[in-house]
């Protein structure tokens, strides 16, 4: 079982992703924007319960997923990171981050695709 943090500003998508990954046996936490997610990552590390995976939307208010990924990988280099996006131009923006991003999941996606891709990233 992995500890996964999901950063997603659309409540319906966040709920869907959290349920799917909990159903697959993972411990899941959600955040509504990148700033909240970064704070959650820090709290978990300080408590000795660091996350194994950050799954973040790219386009979010306050702090976008690309900025979150850069800061999270700086603070926790072993953290695996996946991005989600429904916009092709945002996907292109993320391709410059190949060193820290393990996968990019295009919306819309199915429950099976989500779980399969997360499992692949977790190894």
Q: If DSSP states are collapsed to H, E and C, what string results for the chain?
A: CCEEEEECCCHHHHHHHHHHHHHCCCEEEEECCHHHHHHHHHHHHHCCCCCCEEEEECCCCCCCHHHHHHHHHHHCCCCEEEEEECCHHHHHHHHHHCCCCCEEEECCCCHHHHHHHHHHHHC
Mean pLDDT of 83-110: 80
Q: Band of the pLDDT at 99, cuts 50, 70, 90?
A: confident
- Average pLDDT over the chain, rounded to whole? 93
Q: In this structure, which CATH number among 3.40.50.2300, 3.30.70.100, 3.90.470.10, 3.30.420.10 belongs to the domain 3-118? A: 3.40.50.2300
Q: Is the pLDDT of residue 28 over 90?
A: yes
**Residue 110 CA to chain centroid, in angstroms?**
16
Distance separating alpha carbons of residues 109 and 75, to the nearest angstrom: 29
CA count, 13 A, side-chain hemisphere, 81: 30
What global pTM score does this model have?
0.94
């Amino acid at each position: 079982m992995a500890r996964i943090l999901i950063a997603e500003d659309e409540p319906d998508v966040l709920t869907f992703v959290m349920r799917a990954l909990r159903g697959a046996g993972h411990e899941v936490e959600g955040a509504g924007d990148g700033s909240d997610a970064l704070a959650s990552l820090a709290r978990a590390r300080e408590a000795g319960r660091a996350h194994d995976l950050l799954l973040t939307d790219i386009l979010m208010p306050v702090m976008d997923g690309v900025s979150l990924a850069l800061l999270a990988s700086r603070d926790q280099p072993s953290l695996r990171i996946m991005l989600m996006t429904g916009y092709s131009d945002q996907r292109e923006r993320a391709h410059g981050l190949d060193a820290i991003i393990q996968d990019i999941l295009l919306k819309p996606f199915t429950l099976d695709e989500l779980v399969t891709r997360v499992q692949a990233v977790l190894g």
